[in-house]
Structure 1
Amino acid sequence: MTKQNGYVFTGGPGAGKTSVITALQQSGYPVVPESGRQIIQEQMAGGGQALPWVDKVLFRDRMLSTALQDFESVTAGDRPVFFDRGIPDLVGYSRLEQLPVPAALLQYAVQLRYNQRVFIFPPWEEIYQGDTERRQDYATAVATYEAMTAAYTASGYELLVVPKTNIAGRVTFILERL
């Protein structure tokens, strides 16, 4: 199943994906927010175990469940929908964290397709910031970028590197390539 109108933003943490997706949402475009941060907030509030620093497999599996729901919730059409991460991100995360990659996850990554063009945000040390949910250091952000590049390439996507410029410039770059 392919969602030609579904455009994924991927890359390492702290590279500006969420800022750009927020700008697109404020311009009227439908967006699907990143599930990882929401899951972390919910788990921390409820004393849960699905946290990347407690149980990486449970965290990944919770993100997969949400990613599948998000994928199914988007209807096909001409209007672009922007995803802050996609299913192949979970393959990249698994490999980055040296977790086993379930066969079902590999199958979802290949069979549940977004638009062929995926926007990848490169590491950008000048804007990188950690916080309560983002506990990775900059070196991990770089490694995550490399893992996402490998995961999306292996899943057969064309990666478009989003330039390091202001949010408006990044939005223009993306919209000109839809």
Structure 2
Amino acid sequence: MKRYILTGTPGSGKTSILHELRRQGYRVVEEAASDVIALEQRSGNAEPWVYPGFIETIVRLQKQRQLAALGGHDALQWYDRSPICTLALSRDLGYSPCSALLEEIERIERENIYQLQVFFIENLGFCQPTEARKITFAEALVFEKIHEECYISLGYDLIRIAPDSLMKRVQRITEWTRDLRGKS
């Protein structure tokens, strides 16, 4: 089973790409952080990222979703972010990585959970704030750089997907995947 990560700054188009991949019949595993934020905000916690346990909650949900995806027989899976993105988030928020995060990163490396080729979705030149995404474009660029540094420091190869139409970005990703699968 091949598990590929899509990462990048908030608002880069990752979710739209993942939805198109799903529409084309691929197995997709949704991002955890946005769901954690939305759930907390519905519970009255307007800024859940300032509370202890925020990162751990994301890590638990990511692991739960990754393990649940094992039940499928799909030869190829796409992940909207990974625990390495959670490491980037932790660094961006100024937190030291919690033990749950460090253990999960160790597990995914030990068990070779994800392919070492990561699709790095480059920013679109703007970042549209949402209820869960309260970040300026300048902040998004800093966050993008932190993501890049985290992945590279852990030995992942970034396959950059430049801004373009949704369909051209999806086509580039699926072509790369065919090329990568042919090499393995």
| TM-score, shorter chain, exceeding 0.5 | yes
Q: Which residue of 1 aligns with 2:136?
A: 137
**What pairs up with 1:108-127 in 2 under 5 angstroms?**
108-112=104-108, 113-126=113-126
Is the helix fraction higher in 1 or 2?
2
Question: Per the alignment, do residues 98 and 41 of structure 1 end up closer, same or farther by CA in structure 2, a change over 3 Å counting?
Answer: same
Tell me the distance in 2 between the aligned counterparts of 1:116 and 1:165.
24
Percent of aligned pairs with the same residue? 25
Q: Which residue of 1 aligns with 2:75?
A: 79
Match of 2:86 among 74, 83, 90: 90
Tell me the distance in 1 between the aligned counterparts of 2:6 and 2:77.
11
**What pairs up with 1:17-166 in 2 under 5 angstroms?**
17-48=14-45, 51-52=48-49, 54-55=50-51, 57-75=52-70, 79-112=75-108, 113-126=113-126, 128-166=127-165
SS in structure 2 of the partner of residue 95 of structure 1: helix
1:50–1:58: 8 Å Cα contact kept in structure 2?
no
SS in structure 1 of the partner of residue 53 of structure 2: helix
Tell me the distance in 2 between the aligned counterparts of 1:50 and 1:39.
11
Q: Give the AA of the match of 2:175.
A: E
Deviation of 1:111 (Å): 3.2
Deviations 1:110-140 (A, max 9, x none): 43130111001122224x2111111011111
2:84–2:105: 8 Å Cα contact kept in structure 1?
yes
TM-score, normalised to structure 2, is: 0.85
Q: Give the AA of the match of 2:32.
A: S
Match of 1:16 among 9, 13, 18: 13
Superposition misfits of 4+ residues, deviation over 6 angstroms = none
The size of the alignment, in residue pairs, is 172
TM-score, normalised to structure 1, is: 0.88
Deviations 1:39-62 (A, max 9, x none): 12111112247712x32x422111
2:55–2:98: 8 Å Cα contact kept in structure 1?
no
Tell me the distance in 1 between the aligned counterparts of 2:67 and 2:170.
25
Q: Flag structure 1 segments of 5+ consecutive residues without an equivalent.
A: none
